[in-house]
Amino acid sequence: MGTKKMRVLVVDDESHVRILLSEVLKMEGFICVQAENGKDALACMEAEPVDLVLMDIRMPVMDGMEAVRIMRDTWPEVPVIMTTAFAGVDTAVEAMKLGAYNYISKPFNNEEIIVNVKRALEIQSLTREVEDLRRVVRTRFSINNIIGKSAGMQEVFKGIGRVAPTNSTVLIQGESGTGKELVARAIHYNSRRSQGPLVNLNCAAIPEGLLESELFGHEKGSFTGAMNHHPGKFELAAGGTIFLDEISEMSPNLQAKLLRVLQDRTFQRVGGTRTLAADVRVIAASNKDLSEAIRQGSFREDLYYRLNVVQLEIPPLRDRREDIPLLVDHFIARCNKEMGKQVQQISHEALKQLTAYAWPGNVRELENAVERAVVMGQGGVIMTEDLPVSLQGIQPRAVTRVNQDRGGSLKEMMEAVEADILQSALDDTGWNRVKTAEVLKMSRKALIYKIDKYGLSQR
């Protein structure tokens, strides 16, 4: 519970009770404040916050019942423990309905006081921690933290807004690193199930033989090594959402079982006979094109239609380059905050390179590049030198692959690549031939010769 001393407010109209309680608590390392009635207690709490209240019920001026009601309203996070004579137990129960944490009957035993106070403080600190985490999670996964102004991303936002409050199954498609998991989280945390769990399962990461038990759980003794009953992800996600990532990697056998869950909303544990209800929303994601997988016979069409109630398609970053500057700003701000850095901006040149690059790893790759640049960068501005080497200088824009696919002799392919590189370099310098020749470390004459040879022109 940390080293900070906790402040306990002891409220009782009899001074000898207050003194006794204070002595007991001080011995345990608490700081004690005393008040002789409810009104006095509220004044104490106004003056300086306390961590817990130990309060009698029957007192003059303002009794414990009225005080607890006000305390719960004003300081809902402070636990209140009532103390009461044996005859007052009914009233104590009433006090608990008003939000008191517990009651202790008089005459008390010291041990009972200490145990109750410590437990209440522990639970309060856990609750606080959970709430802090919830808040962090909610801000980090709110729609506001998904960046993008491109038409493609605007469609995604619209989709999230439309689908989040419903219970619909959602299929998210997009290349690796485009933000599928981010979108899945945003849907969950903006849904009516947001207080429930969000359970992730990456279908590609679990060996085929274990996936069924991971999904649906197993009964004791259902297979060698199944020593105990084990709940599956569908059970753990009850009341919440299950995120099935890389769904295309699921075996045909499991696809059939998942289809059944989506149809009947029920499932059985491996080795079990009981039918359990699946109160779970399913969000699936794939970085492969599922309709292609269907054509190849590796994915069930009926399952596809079940999953595909609502489809969100996240475009690759290279098709929405206008999002790049926004994402860069967003990641710089986040790195500054998380790493205590003070990078103010990015140089025009560096941003231009980031915008021109093809980003095969999509937003994740961009995020890593910016993070690295913030760490490496000297001073408050990100420069070209701070970017990964793969981005520096002229980009051949992944032309090699394309040209190989085009076919032809090696010489022809090499020439096509050369032409592409020259074109890119010229575009990047705004067709400044001197500068281009300099960047490519070739003579101006050779450059002009090649522009002519390949018939290059300003695009």
Ligand X SMILES: Nc1ncnc2c1ncn2[C@@H]1O[C@H](COP(=O)(O)OP(=O)(O)OP(=O)(O)O)[C@@H](O)[C@H]1O
Pick the closer one to ligand X by CB: 267 or 357: 357
- Identify what 178 binds: ligand X, Mg ion, none; CB under 5 to 8 Å per kind: ligand X
Q: Which of residues 150-179 bind ligand X (CB under 6 A)?
A: 174, 176-179
Residues whose CB is less than 8 angstroms from the CB of residue 104 and which lie 6 or more positions away in sequence, other chains included: 81, 82, 83, 84, 112, 113, 116
Burial 404-436 (b: 16+ CB within 10 A, else e): eeeeeeeeebebbbebbbbbbbbbbbeeeeeeb
Residue 375 or 448: the one with the smaller Cβ distance to ligand X is: 375
Residue whose CB is less far from ligand X, 250 or 416: 250
**Per CB under 6 A, does 182 bind ligand X?**
yes
Pick one of ligand X, Mg ion, none as the site partner of residue 309 (Cβ within 5 to 8 A by kind).
none
405, 412 in Cβ contact below 8 A?
no
CA 201 vs CA 188, 212, 456: distances in Å = 15, 11, 50
Residue closer to Mg ion, measured from CB, 66 or 181: 181
Which residues ranging from 312 to 351 are in contact with ligand X (CB under 6 A)? Answer: 327, 330
Using CB distances below 5 to 8 A depending on partner kind, what does residue 148 bind out of ligand X, Mg ion, none? ligand X
Cβ 163 to ligand X, closest distance in Å? Answer: 17
436 binds, among ligand X, Mg ion, none (CB under 5 to 8 A by kind): none
Nearer to Mg ion, 71 or 201 (CB): 201
The CB-of-139 to ligand X minimum distance in angstroms stands at: 13
Contacts of 366 (CB under 8 A, 6+ apart): 317, 324, 327, 328, 331, 354, 359
* Residue 363 found at the interface with ligand X (CB under 6 A): yes
Chain residue at closest Cβ approach to ligand X: 179
185 versus 233: smaller Cβ distance to ligand X: 185
Stretch that binds Mg ion, among 1-9, 143-151, 173-181, 218-226 (CB under 5 A): 173-181
Give least dist CB 314 to Mg ion, A: 11
Selection from 450, 447, 420 nearest residue 436 by Cα = 447
Pick the closer one to Mg ion by CB: 34 or 362. Answer: 362
Which part of the chain contacts ligand X (CB under 6 A), choosing from 32-40, 273-281, 362-370, 425-433?
362-370
Residue of the chain from 20, 70, 85, 147 that contacts ligand X (CB under 6 A): 147
Q: How far is the CB of 327 from Mg ion (least distance, A)?
A: 17
Contact positions with ligand X (CB under 6 A) in 364-423: 364, 367
Are 78 and 71 in contact, with CB atoms under 8 Å apart?
yes
From residue 273 to residue 302, the character string flagging contacts with ligand X as x (rule: CB under 6 A) and all else as - is --------------x---------------
Among residues 40, 66, 181, 418, the one that binds Mg ion under rule CB under 5 A: 181
Q: Quick one: 175 or 428, whose CB is closer to Mg ion?
A: 175
CB of 177 to ligand X, least distance (A): 5
Written as six digits, the tokens of 95 are 């006090």
Region binding ligand X by CB under 6 A among candidate stretches 145-153, 350-358, 434-442, 450-458 = 145-153
Q: What residue number has its CB nearest to Mg ion?
A: 181
Which partner in ligand X, Mg ion, none is near 377 (CB below 5 to 8 A by kind)?
Answer: none
Contact between 203 and ligand X (CB under 6 A)? no
Instruction: With CB under 6 A as the rule, give the number of residues binding ligand X.
Output: 17
Which of 79-87, 90-98, 112-120, 361-369 is the region at the interface with ligand X (rule: CB under 6 A)? 361-369
- Nearer to Mg ion by Cβ, of 181 and 279: the residue is 181
Contacts to ligand X by CB under 6 A: 146-148, 174, 176-182, 287, 327, 330, 363-364, 367
Contacts to Mg ion by CB under 5 A: 181
